Amino acid sequence: MRLSRFLQLPGSFKWVLVAAVGAGFVACGGGDGGSGVATTGDPSQVGPTATTLSATLTGEQENPPVITGAAGTGTLRLESGTRNVSGGITITGITATAAHVHTGESGVNGPIIVNLAQTSPGTWSVPAGATLTEAQAAAFANGGLYFNAHSTAFPNGEIRGQIGREVFVSQMSPAQEVPPTSSSASGVGRLTVDPATRKLVSSITLTGMTAAAAHIHTGAAGTNGPIIVHFAETAPGSGTWVAAADATLTEAQLALMRTGGLYFNAHSATFPGGEIRGQIGREVRFATLTGAEEVPPTPSTATGTGTLVLDSATRAVTGGITVSGMDVTVAHVHPGAPGENGPAIVPLTNAGGGVWSVPANSTLTPEQALAFKQGNLYYNAHSTAFPNGEIRGQIE
């Protein structure tokens, strides 16, 4: 690249190129909702360098969010001298009608700048010879581009992934608090992280409560932990809270984020420990198991509670049930709306003491993940007396 051309680039993009030439290769990001960057070039001379950024596509990142079991991953490679781009996306659980690269920050919709071509089922690629303008190249370096896969059901986009950023949208509820609260409030938390710098942009929007404080905490679903990021309300009573402009995660906190170990928490005078909470990068659902929910109902007096946690990006699930008042022979997750029976899809493992757990590395299909999000999965605990199920609980 000629020096005159280099000097015309925005400052942040020049830094990416300088780092690329000096370092040769850098890798970062990955994990759940992960993004990464790799730069290649010959450090012995100033010449063409390339930067590759990755993205994870989910329905939650769409604006507005989309309820879907589809997901995907993608990469975009930019050559600094020519501004040529290459790469593409691989998607599952969706029959895409079109796919593109768009301009737009996380949570903001923007115009198409690169049309992708379908090269095989589930694979869409950047056409040969595609290039970016200088402004688009600067947006690439600053997290201002995204992949979008469209479908007949969702013509504006079914799944989206911010290029070079890790993005999570969390639904906050009183049921996720530990212990749960009696509040009827709700909220939505959004977190966008640059994996290269670990800097974050985050906000919480609350409905039905007057918050006294809001934070990001460390802690997996079902556990409480300390505060790591403080939020400030944009205006008294607005219900919108934002993190400080210089908020940054440590390496350890970034790793926790990628494994579902961070959560949003909104506190109030009535519930100073937290009124509503939302796990970051995970969807958390609960179940109460009784004989009355079986189809047909049973007269059992046994009871149980359950939790199921979904990573939308990978469709991995964790959780389990705790049962009392019966001798369980087997237990499962089944698909089915209330009043409907379905086949077992996840067998649980007996952990002892009435606890049955989802086995490690369990995943759902796209169709099953959609059923989870729609409240159409249930736990079922079977016994010798009731081999088809003694107690059942809808996961919602």
Query: Position 48: which residue type?
Result: P
C-alpha 294/C-alpha 353 separation (Å) is 23
Report whether 71 contacts 312 (CB < 8 A).
yes
Residue 234, pLDDT > 60, answer yes
Q: At what angle do helices 11-23 and 134-141 cross, to 10 degrees?
A: 70
Eight-state DSSP code of residue 174: G
Ramachandran area for residue 44 (φ above 0: left; ψ -120 to 50: alpha; else beta) = alpha
Query: What's the DSSP call for residue 353?
Result: T
Question: Which residues lie across from 37 on neighbouring strands?
Answer: 53
Question: Could you identify the residue written with the tokens 């969807």?
Answer: 283
Distance, CA of 226 to CA of 242 (rounded, Å):
18
CA distance 381 to 291: 10
Residue-averaged pLDDT of the chain: 91
pLDDT tier for residue 349 given thresholds of 50, 70 and 90 = very high
Paired tokens of 72: 């995907």
Q: Taken in order 123, 124, 130, 135, is the CA torsion positive or negative?
A: negative
Q: In this predicted structure, what is the pLDDT of residue 48?
A: 64
pLDDT tens by residue, 174-205: 999 999 999 999 999 999 999 999 999 999 99
Cβ pair 289, 306 in contact under 8 A: yes
Please report where in the chains the tokens 């149980």 appear, as a residue: 304
Per-residue model confidence (pLDDT) at position 13: 35
Q: What integer is the mean pLDDT of 42-47?
A: 40
Which pLDDT value is given to residue 210?
A: 98
Report the share of the chain in percent with pLDDT over 90: 88
What Cα–Cα distance (Å) separates residue 260 from each residue in 255, 256, 316? 9, 6, 11
Query: For 313-329, what is the mean pLDDT?
Result: 99
